[in-house]
């Protein structure tokens, strides 16, 4: 904003007149500024542009050895080991090793199974992997701070840990796959269990130690166990028409087993519950005080559920008829919860249907409207992500060979597809899959000002030269 002010010239100086000072004061008060005296004006709410840059680097060196063995045509094994060193490991910790092994047995090769079983394989695997600490977690660092009248100084920052080592995850799985009726019906079953030991947990320091940051130590353990299953069935098979259907299912249970007795702030990591579990206060009562509705809430947060689905299902169908192929996929997710920040926010802003429906025709509030408004002013909206979704529908046309060869093309496919076409849910939200902060792992239990998943339509041409 630019002010044009009257002034008079005295020699080589500029001197504001009394009327000019009054005008400055009036204009500054109009825009919320403060006036500090002749020729000086301070702006209380001006924006400040700042810039910052961060840089971190980690170096990882590794050696991998693996060998495969087969015994006849029925038994296959793999053994391997990986040796890793990382610059983020503590000074007192050297290299780490991650072994692996798997075995598979093709039972149907022995010929003693019933004829209805056309193929059968049993398999099992074991393996380990690791996640290195942060680039600077092992270092004891100090931060610069100006004291007194600009005298430079330092203060403790990160306490560091010379014994810091990587988080180590071990997974064991087993399963079987096979086919029935000359492989017309195929199936695949897998169960797995993995656990992460030496999970890195930030332990708060006593104020007397002087360090503001928590000390990273390897004391946590997180378990996951689950299963996967799929069935493929060739329902119809004719000369110019066939129909294949498939069903895929999976489930997982996540649990924080231990954080080494450390009391962590918040509920993101809490023993006996999944990582980033959804917690919130609940309504405990309702009363009328001085004619106004009052909802009360619990003093502590209550657990509502895991942030990720405990059951996923996908049902797909593929139909071939002549040169055309049609495909459709329907998915179902159940078991996940999240904090729907949009719902109470819309009420507080006065634009939610559940509030507007109770207003008087002239827009004035009512008892019910006040009740809704007060309710969502103190509580979070915990919603379920349970939904069914039409993930994809596509139609593919294979160009005739005479047409492709005329222009010296190979097999050429023209496909029109649509993804995320529609979904069904019980959520008071735009999309039950919405996620605050996009791909941020700490946003999986929250949804606020997030856009719904877009519907996408594609037309593609694929060929070979």
* Eight-state DSSP code of residue 442: G
Residue closest to 249 by CA, chosen among 267, 237, 231, 261: 231
Q: Which domain holds residue 17?
A: 7-42
Q: How confident is the model at residue 3, as a pLDDT? A: 38
Would you say how long the chain is, in residues?
A: 465
What pLDDT, in 10s, does the model give residues 181-199?
989 999 999 999 999 999 8
Reply yes or no on whether the pLDDT at 205 is more than 60. Answer: yes
Within a domain: residue 286?
A: no
What pLDDT, in 10s, does the model give residues 255-265?
999 988 888 88
What pLDDT, in 10s, does the model give residues 153-175?
888 888 889 999 999 999 999 99
Is the distance from CB of 149 to CB of 90 less than 8 angstroms? no
Q: How confident is the model at residue 401, as a pLDDT? A: 83
Within a domain: residue 280?
A: no
Q: How confident is the model at residue 37, as a pLDDT? A: 47
Reply yes or no on whether the pLDDT at 47 is more than 90. Answer: no
| Dihedral sign computed on CA atoms, order 90, 91, 92, 97 | positive
Rounded CA gap, 360 and 356, in Å?
9
Reply yes or no on whether the pLDDT at 299 is more than 90. Answer: yes
Q: How confident is the model at residue 38, as a pLDDT? A: 47
Within a domain: residue 33?
A: yes
Within a domain: residue 228?
A: no
Within a domain: residue 15?
A: yes
Residue closest to 425 by CA, chosen among 380, 382, 381, 385: 385
Residue closest to 108 by CA, chosen among 120, 123, 91, 124: 120
Pairwise pLDDT comparison (157 vs 227), residue with the higher score: 227
Reply yes or no on whether the pLDDT at 6 is more than 70. Answer: no
How many domains does the structure of the chain reveal?
1
Rounded CA gap, 100 and 82, in Å?
8
One DSSP character per residue, 100-111 reads EEEEEEEGGGGS
Q: How confident is the model at residue 42, as a pLDDT? A: 53
Reply yes or no on whether the pLDDT at 31 is more than 50. Answer: no
19-23, 80-84, 119-123, range with the lowest pLDDT:
19-23
Within a domain: residue 402?
A: no
Q: How confident is the model at residue 241, as a pLDDT? A: 93
Rounded CA gap, 361 and 349, in Å?
19
Pairwise pLDDT comparison (261 vs 331), residue with the higher score: 331
Cβ contacts of residue 307 below 8 Å, gap of 6+?
A: 274, 276, 277, 278, 336, 337, 338, 444, 445
Within a domain: residue 173?
A: no
Q: How confident is the model at residue 7, as a pLDDT? A: 36
Average pLDDT score over the chain: 86
Within a domain: residue 32?
A: yes
């Amino acid at each position: 904003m630019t002010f044009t002010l009257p002034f008079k010239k005295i020699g080589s100086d500029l001197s504001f007149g009394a009327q000019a000072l009054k005008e400055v004061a009036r204009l500054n008060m109009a825009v919320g500024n403060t006036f500090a005296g002749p020729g000086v004006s301070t702006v209380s709410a001006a924006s400040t542009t700042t810039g910052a840059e961060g840089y971190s680097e980690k170096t990882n060196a590794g050696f991998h050895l693996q060998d495969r063995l087969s015994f006849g045509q029925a038994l296959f094994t793999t053994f391997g080991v990986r040796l890793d060193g990382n610059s983020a490991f503590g000074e007192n910790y050297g290299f780490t090793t991650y072994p692996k092994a798997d075995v598979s047995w093709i039972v149907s090769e022995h010929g003693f199974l019933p004829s209805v079983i056309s193929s059968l394989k049993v398999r099992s695997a074991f393996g380990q992997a690791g996640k290195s600490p942060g680039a600077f977690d092992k270092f004891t660092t100090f931060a610069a701070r100006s004291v007194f009248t600009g005298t430079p100084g330092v203060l403790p920052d990160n306490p560091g840990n010379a014994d810091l080592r990587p988080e180590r995850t071990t997974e064991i799985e087993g399963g079987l796959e096979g086919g029935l009726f000359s492989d017309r019906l195929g199936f695949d079953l897998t169960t797995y269990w993995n656990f992460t030991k030496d999970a890195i947990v930030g332990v708060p320091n006593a104020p007397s130690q002087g360090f503001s940051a928590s000390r990273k130590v390897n004391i946590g353990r997180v378990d996951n166990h689950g299963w996967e299953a799929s069935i493929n069935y060739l329902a119809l098979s004719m000369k110019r028409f066939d129909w294949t259907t498939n069903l895929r299912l999976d489930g997982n249970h996540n649990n924080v087993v231990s954080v080494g007795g450390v009391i962590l702030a918040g509920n993101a990591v809490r023993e006996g519950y999944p990582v980033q579990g959804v917690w919130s206060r609940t309504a405990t009562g309702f009363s009328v005080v001085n004619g106004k509705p009052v909802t009360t809430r619990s003093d502590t947060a209550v657990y509502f559920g895991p942030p990720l689905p405990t059951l996923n299902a996908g049902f797909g169908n593929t139909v071939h008829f002549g040169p055309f192929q049609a495909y459709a996929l329907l998915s179902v997710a159940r078991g996940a919860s999240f904090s729907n920040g949009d719902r109470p926010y819309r009420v507080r802003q006065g634009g939610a249907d559940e509030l507007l429906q109770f207003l008087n025709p002239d827009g004035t509030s009512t008892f019910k409207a006040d009740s809704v408004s007060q309710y969502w002013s103190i509580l979070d909206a915990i919603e379920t992500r349970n939904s069914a979704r039409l993930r994809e529908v596509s139609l593919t046309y294979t160009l005739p060979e005479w047409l492709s060869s005329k222009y010296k093309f190979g097999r050429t496919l023209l496909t029109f597809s649509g993804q995320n076409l529609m979904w069904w849910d019980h959520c008071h939200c735009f999309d039950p899959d919405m996620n605050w902060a996009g791909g941020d792992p700490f946003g999986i239990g929250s949804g606020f000002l997030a856009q719904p998943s877009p519907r996408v339509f594609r037309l593609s041409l694929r060929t070979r030269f």
